[in-house]
């Protein structure tokens, strides 16, 4: 999964410049819509184009590694495998050659 580090970059820029940096300001300076920036900030795994990432790199004056980072997805545990013994015991316990018929109720 790709995680965007816009929040951290905004905080660094605020500290360096000694003023508040808003999403609206970043949107105006980069040409990226506020909706897109909000999604990048809040939605895990949000997908965007390289032109958006390029605009953020230019605005924050930083390499792409500072804008986005790769986070490996957690491995899902494999379901337990059934043994041969488990699959044999799941069948019926009929005697070979014997046919089982459903019991009929005598009540009518």
At residue 53, the pLDDT reads: 96
- For domain 2-70, give the CATH number: 1.10.260.40
Return the higher-pLDDT residue of 89 and 4: 4
Does position 94 have pLDDT exceeding 60, yes or no? no
Q: Backbone phi, then psi, for 69, in 5-degree steps?
A: -135, 150
| pLDDT, position 89 | 57
Q: Parse the chain into domains and list their residue ranges.
A: 2-70
Backbone torsions φ then ψ of 35, nearest 5 degrees: -65, -45
pLDDT in tens, 51-87: 999 999 999 999 999 999 998 888 877 777 776 665 5
Rounded Cα–Cα distance for residues 56 and 65 (Å)? 11
Q: Which residues pair with 4 in a beta bridge?
A: 68
Structure token pair of residue 31: 């040409």
Supply the pLDDT for residue 87.
57
pTM above 0.85, yes or no: no
Token pair belonging to 42: 């809040």
Across the chain, mean pLDDT equals 85
Which structure tokens are listed for 18?
A: 């000694």
The continuous run of DSSP H or E covering 28 comes out as helix 23-30
């Amino acid at each position: 999964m790709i995680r965007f580090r816009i929040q951290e970059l905004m905080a660094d820029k605020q500290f360096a410049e000694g003023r508040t940096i808003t999403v609206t300001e970043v949107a105006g300076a980069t040409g990226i819509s506020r909706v897109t920036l909000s999604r990048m900030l809040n939605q895990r795994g949000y997908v965007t184009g390289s032109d958006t990432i390029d605009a953020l790199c230019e605005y924050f004056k930083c390499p792409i590694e500072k804008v986005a980072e790769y986070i490996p997805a957690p491995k899902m545990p494999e379901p337990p495998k059934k043994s041969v013994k488990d699959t044999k015991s799941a069948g019926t316990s009929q005697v070979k050659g014997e046919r089982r018929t459903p019991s009929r109720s005598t009540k009518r």
